[in-house]
């Protein structure tokens, strides 16, 4: 019995024999050439907008005209524009939709004047460029917005 216990202890306590590494198998098959897929063009800008009310308003305008084809709901307009901009005479929703027809992929190109309630800058989409001026009221809503072509078009 002691002999069996000694053999079992020796067997359990000993290290296993090292296993020889397997020899690598090289494939003779040709690997397919990686296909290169061009990513879609992404609008880019060197301007980094912050969290100020004017920067948020500009980011919203550029998103609406550049990415959303000018489509906005009445509630969304009310969140971003004051009452005089929402009236039937102002036609703010039509203004954005018309501008969006020329501004797909629009980005902020530069800022000239950046005050807490007033901003003047440039927006571009491809070879088109606009000077954008807007003003915010005391509630941080757009109370004035003007865009003029700045590329001679």
Instruction: Give residue 3's pLDDT band: very low, low, confident or very high (50, 70, 90).
Output: very low
pLDDT tens profile 53-94: 999 999 999 999 999 999 999 999 999 999 999 988 889 999
pLDDT tens profile 85-137: 998 888 999 999 999 999 999 999 999 999 999 999 999 999 999 999 999 99
pLDDT at position 49 over 60: yes
Domains in the chain, CATH or no CATH each: 53-149 (3.10.450.280)
CA distances (Å), 46 to each of 100, 112, 126, 141, in order? 21, 14, 15, 26
pTM, rounded to two decimals: 0.70
Q: Got the DSSP string for 91-120?
A: -HHHHHHHHHTT-TT-EEEEEEEE-SSEEE
């Amino acid at each position: 019995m002691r002999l069996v216990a000694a053999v079992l202890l020796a067997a359990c306590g000993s290290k296993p024999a090292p296993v020889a590494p397997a020899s690598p198998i090289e494939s003779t098959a040709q690997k397919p050439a990686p296909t290169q897929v061009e990513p879609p063009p992404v609008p880019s800008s060197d301007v980094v907008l912050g969290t100020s009310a004017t920067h948020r308003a500009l980011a919203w305008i550029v998103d609406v005209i550049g990415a959303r084809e000018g489509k906005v709901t009445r509630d969304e307009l009310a969140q971003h524009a004051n009452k005089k901009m929402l009236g039937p005479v102002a036609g703010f929703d039509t203004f954005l939709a018309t501008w969006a027809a020329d501004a797909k992929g629009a980005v902020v190109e530069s800022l000239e004047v950046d005050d807490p309630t007033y901003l003047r800058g440039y927006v571009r989409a491809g070879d088109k460029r606009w000077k954008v001026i807007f003003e915010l009221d005391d509630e941080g809503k757009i109370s004035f917005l003007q865009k003029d072509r700045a590329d001679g078009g």
